[in-house]
Amino acid sequence: MNRTVVLNWLADHVPKPRVNHILRVEETAVSLAQRHDLDPMKAGQAGLLHDLAKYFKAARLLRMARAEALSLDPIVEENPHLLHGPVGAIVAREQFRVQDLEVLDAIANHTLGSPDMSPLSCVIFLADGTEPGRGDHPKLKEIREVSQNNLHRAVALLCDRKLRRLLKNKQLVHPQMVLTRNWALQQTTE
């Protein structure tokens, strides 16, 4: 994967503020990967590619998901934006020839997470939710601190934060987020 080619593609398909977010996620992912003895190159690649489909229209997300035979449920049908991770992995594979399944899974899982996520997927999930542009709320600071020592505990805390926001705003909660949270929580008690 050629980073310059990806950056040029992003400049044509994603607004500048989102490109800045992507670059912060890439940097945060590399740092977390190094902290946890994971491959920083894979983390950087997944971080750079995680939001490829962020600005795809709902119809395109659904069309690509169906073509790939991705599982669609009523919540996803009502909120196709939830597909931008899995569809982003398709774009990474097709547009940028990414073949590493761990990187593709990390891209696909960065929004809702997934039970049994790899450490790399945990890193990208956390980097997306905690990168410096997300602010300095005390709970976010806590998640950042926890992520330095315990990826699973940090994933559970980030899921809690996301779930609270969804409930407060009376939005639909996708069951996969709950499953991710429960899985991560169980990993911290085993």
Q: What is the pLDDT of residues 77-102, one digit of tens each?
A: 999 999 999 999 999 999 999 999 99
Total count of domains within the chain: 1
Contact in structure between 188 and 150 (CB atoms under 8 Å): yes
The interaxial angle of helices 40-49 and 16-35, nearest 10 deg, is 160
Contact in structure between 47 and 7 (CB atoms under 8 Å): no
Cα 158 from Cα 156, distance rounded (Å): 6
Q: How many residues does the chain have?
A: 190
- DSSP assignment of 50-86: TTTTTT--HHHHHHHHHHTT----HHHHH-GGGGHHH
- Kindly report the average pLDDT of the chain as a whole number: 96
Summarised one tens digit per residue, pLDDT across range 104-113 is: 999 999 999 9
Cα 110 from Cα 126, distance rounded (Å): 8
Q: Which residue has the tokens 């809690």?
A: 160
Q: For residues 118, 178, 56 and 13, what is the CA-based torsion angle, rounded to 10 degrees?
A: -50
pTM of the model: 0.96
Contacts of 186 (CB under 8 A, 6+ apart): none
Q: Provide the token pair at 41.
A: 């190159």
Query: What is the CATH number for 179?
Result: 1.10.3210.10
Place 190 in a pLDDT band, splitting at 50, 70 and 90. low
Among candidate residues 111, 137, 104, 126, the one with its CA nearest the CA of residue 31: 126
Domain of 35, in residue numbers = 3-189
